[in-house]
A and B are shown apart, each in its own frame.
Chain A
Amino acid sequence: MQEIFANLALGFETAFTLTNIIWVFIGGVLGTIIGMLPGLGPATGVAILIPITFGMNPATALITMCAVYYGAMFGGSRASIMINTPGDAASIVSCFDGYPMTKQGRAGAALAISAIASFIGGMIGMIFLIFLTQPIANAALKFGPAEMFSLMMFALVATISLSEGSILKGIIAITFGLMLSTIGLDALTGITRFTYGIRSLEDSIDFLVIIIGVYAITEVYKNFRDLDTVYNLDAKSIGKVAITKQEFKQSIGPMLRATPLGFFVGVLPGMGATIATFMDYAMEKSISKHPEKFGKGAIEGLAGPESANNACSCGAMVPLLTLGIPGSGTTAVMLGALTLIGVRPGPLLFAQHPDIAWGVIASMLLGNIILILINLPMAIPLVQLLRIPNRLMLPSVFGLAILGTYFLNYSSFDFILVMITAILGFLFSKIDLPIPPMVLALILGGTTEQTFRNSMVLSDGSLSILFQKPLSAVFLVLAAVSLLYALIKRRKKAA
């Protein structure tokens, strides 16, 4: 224990230089802005920084990159809350209750709680990172293909409970998402599937294109009926970026529950913040006393996932710092950048470069504080944007969606996809087919299939492997329970 504090002191010594603090500030602002835009995520943000980091010492470079990563996490949900357009996959969930809050004139509260929840998730996540790194890294190694597959099944089934209406409709939405995920080159064998002769489809469908389609552009279409309404905002409350005591009380439980969940999911290789946020939202909804308010502006539904998201990015640092392997796309870029400036993180990073490893941890604590100081005031001008009337707001959202689509892959074909999915999203809303399970299934589909196939290869084709591994069995049981629970709840409602 004492050793940890001594190391942490070393870390603070490294981190607390004026240069570093300035860079954390710059990185945090840059990350927040990049995170807000659909199509540009933390990975792009860090990649943009790489040439700038060439001249830095390794600690400053890593600290700056972490600040961008963190900033993007803070910024990702801004656009979700304001215009129902997720900045990245992890902030889809923030749309569910954040956007309804905006429509009710509570954008200030939504932006405030999202920053506060991100902060709390990040801070507690950091504490986990400081004290639990080694045991958690070891626990994560226990996750083989079978465990991963069962976890995926649990996450997918849990999303059914997110939406109202028939469970079968939820299942249909999941199968649609999984179908979309199998289009293109099969990752394992290189065979093309379901492309129907369209070459551009071989490259698989980028789920971010679909997200931009069914959220941003579909939202524009839905608003076409009432073009002249301005958001129903109370002129007095518009500038107020704060939450009430009551709102904070409601949110604190979800935030504390979300953090460990998000952190651990972040540690697992190949898992991301998306799955953590979805799972947390489903959990909060199912234990809530008033689940009917979820999706209609429940502050708990925004606070929990926001904390999960930031805790997850702390978790993703665990494999990078302990094993030198990237736990997410963003940390992969960071690993590359570090190598370029002379540090190759590996299992010996803590032993060989304690100043860097602990400096990063200390700077992440610092970064969190700076980011909330940036984000709360930044919400004030953001809220003012809502004064823009719909007839100018909608074209701008459409324009941003178009730019986001282009920045994803610079591909002409993506525009055909995005326009088609926007129409489909609009049609699906007319037959009440839920979008979230479909999007999550599309995101997780590739990993679901790959882990299923790998499990089957390992077991020589026997499904029993999914039940023999204890952890895997636990997740399958949880999946079954949550399905039953959803069934019973709906029966009760109907009766």
Chain B
Amino acid sequence: MKKLCSLFVLVALVISVGTLSATPGWKPTKTIELVAPANPGGGWDMLCRVVQKTLVDEKLVEKNVIVVNKPGGGGAVGWKYLEGKKGQGEFLAATSTLLMLNNLLGSSDLTYKNFNPIAMLQAEWIAVAVKADSPHKGINDLLTAIKANPSAVPIGVGPTLGNNDHLVFLSLAKNFGIDPKTIKFIVYPGAGGEIVPAVLGDHVKATVIGLGEVLEQHRAGKMRVLGITADKELEFLPGVKTFKNQGIDLIFPHWRGLIAAPGLKPEQIAYWDDVFSKMVETKTWKDQISKLGWTNFYQSSSVHTKYLTEQTEVFNDLLTTVGLKK
């Protein structure tokens, strides 16, 4: 069996190498546009800009690369723009779990099937954090307090309910035996920029948020990260336990990646697979993402497509369990 497997891999390798070298190959013929379906400053925007910087600095592409911000509709505006660029390999857009979530929650009819998934690039772990002088030392302390009196423990979340962060906290609560309906969520559409001051000003008792947003606060001793959704302790964040270490079985990467316009030819996808597999190994890329508190999480086009198929199922179940989807 093992032998058969390796034979398969070998054959696949030969074929893929063969196609790479045999076909004339495709190269971008005009300016490459990275579409960030959000305003400048957010996660998607940062991903596009880091990719732009790496591609340019490491000379991985020959054409000019620009970032285009198309905010709106929880990403839908930018993705719709990409959908209209049928067959043009020069257009890539940032994507994340939100593409699935929006569809599953019924606010958008777009799915990954409308596009060509190109790569998953990074994951940002989600953290639960409190103010430094909070009595809660671990996630279980916080959840115990919520269980006792949910009204006294408001949780800050943003930019909307039903996003990854919200979903993580609901699953934590569910795991702990808390009725998700009783939790008091205070929603901040300005996300981190509003949530961090709200925690520091004691207006909410805890927040569930992307790790990057509270990393510097944690290091400065202003806030404390109670736990993260990672599978193991992070190198750059010693002493902070995962939820799994604290007895709650929840691993949840908030990944981001890139999709391309629909109707691409295999050689166009192969071109990007080649570029991005090289890009994630560069020093520029690794430096940048560690500064942002992100983790390298590369999947090539085909692996990513398969992953998306599985994850859609997983998310569907999760949303139903926590009661966001009926």
Contact = CB atoms under 8 A, between A and B. Distances in A.
B154 A189 contact: no
Contacts of B53: 51, 54, 340
A164 B73 CA distance: 38
Contacts of A345: 216
Contacts of A326: 41, 193
A457 interface: yes
A457 B73 contact: no
A456 to B, nearest CB: 10
A252 interface: no
Interface string B171-200: 000000000000011111110111011101
B187 A454 contact: yes
A50 B49 CA distance: 8
Interface residues of B, number: 57
Contacts of A44: 40
Interface in B37-55: 39-42, 45-46, 49-50, 52-53
Given A145-B186, A324-B216, A409-B70, A185 B107 contact: yes
B268 interface: no
Contact of A450 (B70, B72, B187, B220): B187
B197 A325 contact: yes
B81 to A, nearest CB: 8
Nearest to B157: A188
Interface string B84-121: 00000000000000000000010100000000000000
B87 to A, nearest CB: 20
B27 interface: no
A411 interface: yes
Nearest to B185: A457
A83 to B, nearest CB: 27
B197 to A, nearest CB: 5
A56 interface: no
Interface of B: 39-42, 45-46, 49-50, 52-53, 56-57, 66-67, 69-74, 76-77, 81, 105, 107, 151, 154, 159-162, 184-190, 192-194, 196-198, 200-201, 203, 215-217, 219-220, 222, 287-288, 291-292
3 closest A-B pairs (Cβ-Cβ)?
A346-B216, A332-B41, A141-B201
26 contacts: A47-B40, A54-B56, A145-B186, A189-B162, A202-B73, A319-B197, A332-B40, A333-B40, A336-B40, A336-B41, A336-B45, A336-B49, A339-B291, A344-B291, A345-B216, A346-B215, A346-B219, A348-B216, A348-B219, A348-B220, A409-B71, A410-B70, A446-B189, A450-B189, A454-B186, A454-B187
Given A203-B76, A340-B53, 18 more contacts: A54-B53, A144-B203, A188-B189, A190-B107, A190-B160, A269-B190, A323-B200, A332-B39, A332-B42, A333-B41, A336-B45, A337-B49, A340-B49, A346-B215, A411-B72, A411-B77, A454-B188, A457-B186
Interface of A: 43-44, 46-47, 50-51, 54, 140-145, 185, 187-190, 192, 202-204, 269-270, 319, 323-327, 329, 332-333, 335-337, 339-340, 342, 344-348, 409-411, 446, 450, 453-454, 457-458, 460
